[in-house]
Structure 1
Amino acid sequence: MKMIINLIYTLRPSLVFTLLPQDLDPPLMEVTAGCCVLGVALVFMFFVWRLSNSLWFEPKKKEKLLRDQGLDGSFYKFMFGDLKDLVQMTNEAKLKPMSLTHDIVPRVSPFFYKSLSTYGKNYFIWIGTKPVVQICEPAMIREILSNYYQFQKPRGGNPLVKLLVTGLVDVDADQWVKHRKIINPAFHAEKLKYMIPAFYVSCCEMINKWSEMLLDEGLHEVDIWPHLQTLTGDVISRTAFGSNFEEGRKIFELQKEQATLAVKASRSFYIPGLRYFPTKINKRMKEIDREVKATIRSIIDKRIIAMKAGETSSDDLLGILLDSNYKEIKTHGNRSFGLSIEEVIEECKIFYFAGQETTANMLVWTMILLGLHTDWQTRAREEVLQLFGKRKPDIDGLNRLKTINMIFNEVLRLYPPATIMRRLIYKETKLGNLTLPAQTLVEINPLFLHHDCDIWGDDVNEFKPERFSEGVSKVNKGQASYLPFGGGPRICIGQNFAMLEAKMALVMVLQCFSFEPSPSYSHAPHTIMTLQPQFGAHLILHKI
């Protein structure tokens, strides 16, 4: 404040005379100039105060409020919070692989693991100027996930990250209800039978490629990770766009690149307006966004023309989505009850990100774990041969798999695709015995929950599919402690799709190959939006 007063005092009215009309009387000019200087100074003071308040005083006020309630956590650091430490520790953890153990939390989330060890299960850290309250109590987690009006998806942050996905995963409140209602039919259990042929064709292509590699090149070692990504990308291309799946493959490749760029953007402090600078990342992300939207729009336009001509397409996700959208608009007689073309495009982008990433991650960790635990690989293969022999898997048989269900559940416990879920509160909110200030981020960490020995026992880091022999609800006793697909009303809409696709792929692999980790395999789980093997998944394949 003293600096501002000195500035006003030293500024002379004569300095701004040139800004005023020259035909004014000198005394009037001097008074007017003085008012201008004072006005500029007051505006400057106002913005300095607003900036100081948002970057320091408000965060410190929230920190005191949280500490007064008994929560422990890190001390707020000006502007960046804990962002620098978080990025540094994550990058250091990625420098080398870990031992072959399922105790992966220290490598995947080193900063959060250190905070958990230091402050206890419920604590807070800082992402920029926002406090992030980590919640590990299942009762409080259930409350967060069930109340989607109060605990909403975070807004703001780096707008470039939004170029990856918006749509159903990003909208809230009434908008979410509308999107979910229209999209639901595409993932109805009755519709999944239409997807089986696409699953089978894509799996056949991968199996044949592996067989040719072993036969023609005499290779036994295969990095299965890129093959599984291609498989799930092809599946979502076929199931989303049907006959346009070649164009869908192009979208998949672009979305994969966009995800990598989005992670880089999310781990830097965003300065408002920075997205307009023509940096290399900014330009590439916007270019990808334009290309993906243009490709999807072209496919949608062709489909709408076909629908108007009387053609029906109810065997792919886009066709079902457009049909559901049309019925919703027709029922209410108002386009506002349906999705716009732009919103349909965003939902198609989500098909790629959610549908491809989740299944590929589940499959790669399943094959790695079955390679390490060959007794369970043998049990799974026996079940497959008993149900199908060498025949083409059918949906009835896939739904009767028990051992493979247990295996998938345990893999998803140890290696959940999404390691964190965040919600933002927009007004002061009561959660359990805590009162959280507005603009607080609430974080649920499935990785921590799934590796919590208080919940799962001393053998928490062991691969034991028999935990799920009586189903998920039996083992977690109805608590919100097992969240591979999220939970509450916003649980992943595509989980049945992902599970059925993964079953088809694993069944066909087990029919044709046995496998174990290669000596060159490096165990290095890390996150690029989802939990992935950093250095690939090198397995030794044996043709059966």
Structure 2
Amino acid sequence: MASSGETTALLGSSSAGDAQAAPFPWKLLLVLYAAAALAWCAVRVLAWAWWRPRRLGRVLRSQGLRGTAYRSLAGDARLTQRLNREARSRPMPLGCHDVAPRAMPLFHHTMKEHGKTSITWFGPVPRVTITEPELVREVLSNKFGHYEKLKFGRLQRMLHNGLGSLEGEKWAKHRRIINPAFHLEKLKGMLPAFAACCTELVQRWEGLVADGQPCEVDVWPEMQNLTGDVISRAAFGSSYLEGRRIFQLQGEQVQLVVQAMHKLHIPGHLYLPTKTNRRMKQIASEVEELLKGIIAKRENALRSGSAAGDDDLLGLLLESNMEHCRGDGSDAARAGITTDDVIGECKLFYFAGMETTSVLLTWTMVVLSMHPDWQHRAREEVLHVLGHTTTAPDYDALSRLRIVTMVLYEVLRLYTPLTALQRQTYKPMELGGVRYPAGVMLMLPLLCIHHDKDVWGPDASEFRPERFAEGVSKASRDAPAFFPFGWGPRTCVGQNFALLEAKMGLAMILQRFAFELSPAYTHAPFPHGMLQPEHGAQIVLRARGLP
């Protein structure tokens, strides 16, 4: 019989032998962990791409909403592409302003088939159109933050990360700091920059018709250059030549971002090293470097008290930011916005300020060419108010251009630059008798609303500026239903800037030229970021008073 010591030795020897014979299965454990992780990821992907969309679709359909069926992760991408191809395959008749079927074919088709409040799919996210003006105002008022702006993250930052993309307290702080730069008295100080750019444009055009012969001009790139120069001068003052390069880069960036938007349903697409993604990143870096240089010079000048041209937007923004930092309140409340924030706002100036006014002026010249009677009435008003002087109009003169204002409003209605706005529910919300679960996108098709005969009457798709004779509030049946600059607390802070610039440009053009459509013009409105003339806007210019 073995002693206790021998027994212990034998047991130890036996355990060691067992351990050597059967080592702990670390590899098997890692495989099990990997399998569990993959299974968890698969369940999450399946929930995101299949179970959740179908559940949200059932909730919406159970309340009477109809629309397209959810079939794949791409949502309605294929249907959208097909309808877009069909819409773009044929131009519109000259003089026709019913642009919604061509500019927003998916939503026009879906609302026609399934009703105004209908469902489409943006990838795996249900998207419900909201067209009743009262409900649109409720969504855009957003008093308690119930409806959030969609977040496109990396893609949006490529274009801008300014006021339009912010939420909550950060948005409120930026709005407080930016608002003073757009007060009326500040805008009056920018009129010389507007006038300088418009004068350069009309003088160049006068050179084209100096021999008394009419001249064909594609006014679309002309207006892009004009408004780009206005933004460069108004935003950066004496640094506007540097600003021109930013304008060129931002214009290219808009085109690339629009292309990328069509592929958002592909997970991780923006992180792939494609040619487009590399170029977007390169443009974003170059724009930021240019802006940092301009901002650093201006901040140094402000600190030293030698700042010049502080009536420009950048100077006003930096000055307002410094005033905010010196104000009363806690350290957190007094904290201003960072240099990166200022860069984001400058990029937004370009994106919103340049594009909106350039498409407005372009479509106004096209529409007035289609309606020479209104061109004549607007010109007569301009000549009555401004006379035949070549001096640029001041603010008081621009404010007396009632017919010009009516024309611009009607063009904004018929050819709304930004055709739609989108919001998203982050918690269950009731709107118009429908209870929307969290995670539903609300599509506000502004262009469709502006053409709705139930809102604007049977002549909704006709050019009738007189509908604005008594102002915006009385122009529609369900008033107000005019949303070219949004609505509520997030109304575009630069709308007065854009309208003053458009009035200045249009008045100086009407004063010097008569114009008509060129035989080369094709009427083809289509949204590419903003609602643009797909094949240009060829106009025949004549020096005023010539046959």
TM above 0.5, yes or no, is yes
The aligned runs of 1:37-76 (5 Å cut-off) are 37-76=31-70
- Counterpart-to-counterpart distance in 1, 2:212 and 2:543: 14
Q: What displacement does 1:219 show?
A: 5.1
- Counterpart secondary structure, 1:29: coil
Q: Does residue 433 in structure 1 map to residue 433 in structure 2?
A: yes
Shift of 1:478: 6.2
2:465 alignment counterpart = 465
Structure exhibiting the larger radius of gyration computed from Cα positions: 2
Residue number in structure 2 paired with 1:334: 331
C-alpha distance in 2 between matches for 1:357 and 1:190: 24
**Does structure 1 residue 274 correspond to structure 2 residue 269?**
yes
Report deviation, 1:481: 1.8
Report the equivalent of 1:202.
Answer: 197
Aligned residue number for residue 233 of structure 2: 238
CA distance in 2, matches of 1:477, 1:462: 16
> 2:131: which partner in 1?
136
Q: Distance in 2 between matches of 1:516 and 1:468?
A: 24
Q: Structure 2: 5+ residue runs without aligned partners?
A: 1-16
Q: Are the equivalent residues in 2 in contact too, given 1:86–1:111 (CA < 8 A)?
A: yes
With 426-435 and 511-520 compared, the bigger mean Cα shift is at 426-435
1:448-505: CA deviation from partner (whole Å, max 9, x where unpaired): 1011011111111111111111111012356342111111111111110111111111
- Backbone CA RMSD of aligned residues: 1.8
Q: Distance in 2 between matches of 1:36 and 1:297?
A: 49
Aligned residues: 521
Q: Distance in 2 between matches of 1:276 and 1:447?
A: 33
Could you tell me which amino acid in structure 2 is paired with residue 145 of structure 1? Answer: L
Contact 1:80 1:269 in 2 (8 A): no
What is the aligned partner in structure 2 of residue 295 from structure 1?
Answer: 290
Q: Which amino acid aligns with 1:334?
A: D
Please give the secondary structure, in 2, of the residue aligned with 1:132.
strand
Quote the residue 1:344 is aligned against: 342
Mapped partners of 1:215, 1:340: distance in 2: 50
Q: CA deviation at 1:150?
A: 1.2
Matched residues, percent identical? Answer: 45
Partner of 2:148: 152
Pair 1:170-2:170 in alignment: no
In 2, the alpha carbon distance for the partners of 1:151 and 1:477 equals 26
**Aligned equivalent of 2:83:** 89
Amino acid at match of 1:210: W
Kindly indicate whether the alpha-carbon contact (under 8 Å) linking 1:480 and 1:487 is maintained by their aligned counterparts in 2: no
Q: Is the 8 A contact 1:241 1:248 kept in 2?
A: yes
What is the distance in 1 between the residues matched to 2:311 and 2:149? 32
Checking the alignment, whether the CA contact within 8 Å between 2:133 and 2:478 is kept in structure 1 is no
TM-score normalised by length of structure 2: 0.92
State the shift of 1:333 in Å.
6.3
Separation of aligned partners in 2, 1:44 and 1:204: 65
Displaced runs of 4 or more, over 6 A: none
Partner of 1:320: 316
Distance 1:385 1:33, change over 3 A: closer
In the alignment, the residues of structure 2 paired with residue 33 and residue 415 of structure 1 have an alpha-carbon distance, to the nearest angstrom, of: 65
Q: Aligned in 2, Cα 1:540/1:36: closer, same or farther, shift over 3 Å?
A: closer
Question: Cα deviations across residues 415-437 of structure 1 (Å, max 9, x unaligned)?
Answer: 01110000111112222211111
Of 176, 184, 207, the residue aligned with 2:179 is 184
Q: SS at 2:116's partner residue? A: coil
Which shifted more, 512-521 or 305-314?
305-314
Superposed counterparts of 1:478-489, under 5 Å: 479-489=479-489
Mean Cα displacement is larger for which, 306-315 or 285-294? 306-315
- The SS at the match of 2:310 is coil
Question: Could you list the runs of 5+ residues in structure 1 that have no partner in the other structure?
Answer: 1-21
When structure 1 is superposed on structure 2, of 77-86 and 463-472 the one drifting more is 77-86
Shift of 1:77: 1.7
Equivalent position SS for 2:126: strand
Q: Partners in 1 of 2:213 and 2:543 — Cα distance?
A: 11
Checking the alignment, whether the CA contact within 8 Å between 2:128 and 2:443 is kept in structure 1 is: yes
1:357 aligns with 2:355: yes
Shift in alpha-carbon separation, 1:80–1:35, aligned structure 2, 3 A: same
Q: Which amino acid aligns with 1:470?
A: E
| Contact in 2 for aligned 1:524/1:533 (Cα 8 Å) | yes
Alignment of 1:346-425 (within 5 A): 346-391=344-389, 392=391, 393-425=393-425
The question of whether the paired residues in 1 share the 8 Å contact of 2:456 and 2:477 is answered with: no
